[in-house]
Structure 1
Amino acid sequence: MPSSLSDTESLPLLMNRGRDAIHRVTSVWAGFRDFALRDNVLEVAIGLIVASAFTSVVNSLVADIILPPISLMWDQSLGENFIILKQGHNATAHYNTFKQAQDDGAITWNYGNFLEKLIQFALLGITLYSIAKFYSLFSSEAIIKYQLKCPACRKDISAKAKRCPFCTSWQDGREFNGHYSNSGISLSN
């Protein structure tokens, strides 16, 4: 049975398919490289790694340094303080930890754990704010961007803005004082 293409006709077709496959692979690689290896993607990745390490340091500061003196007010760690809302299966049991209460089926209100997480959050926020303020002392570029509300549209904008990017009103008040831009046209009578 004769083939539809002779050997001399099928060779260029196979070579074109090979070139197309190589072109697709290199195109995908170039797209991935442009996406994953851009400067801002690498900066974000490094920032996330540093933030994770910084968070673990602050959590250790809270759990190992700050909370133990606070826990002296109770007989146990601050995170272990709870209130029993509903007794478990063994109604006469006394629970020393909320894990024991949960194992018995009791419903607990774990306010100590919440207070611990709240203290961690507050200290993390205060520490990050302090680092940002310290950085701004030595850098020309501020991390903390102060904002105000545009008097016309009430959107939050940069405190340094001369015009609102949302409604384009001037922030120096010239539109509200009866003036229209700097053309000399007055809207007052």
Structure 2
Amino acid sequence: MKKFIEEFKTFALRGNMMDMAVGVIIGGAFSAIVTSLTDNFINPILNFVTGGQVYTLQDVAGFASAFISALVNFFIMAFVLFCLLKGINKLVALGSRKKEEAPATKKCPFCLSDIPVEATRCAHCTSLLETECTDNQIQNA
């Protein structure tokens, strides 16, 4: 059961799955904007042009407020979704942090070239380097 839950967690938090979920949610919110634009601007303009209906200033103000409301809803939903994804990404990053590996190279103090950490002499300037004694070296001495 534990392996099943781990596999599901890996599946659900994959980048592609999260991108698809964001796309579906934003697409639904954007469809509300398109519907509002059509219902509140395009259809009334077509009705007015074809002589089907005459609109008052109050009607136009109502159309504009409905469209602005759809825009505000879209931006609120996008902001909340952004905050949620930012938090999820931070949690995933905390869970997948690995121990930092020790560097494989160091700088020569004389010529400042990169040399292996284990080196006792610089391959570039042939300077003798100071070595730090480890516990194993002290015990073997």
Normalised by the length of structure 2, the TM-score is: 0.35
Greater strand fraction, Structure 1 or Structure 2:
1
| Greater RCO (CA < 8 Å, at least 6 residues apart) | 2
Normalised by the length of structure 1, the TM-score is: 0.27
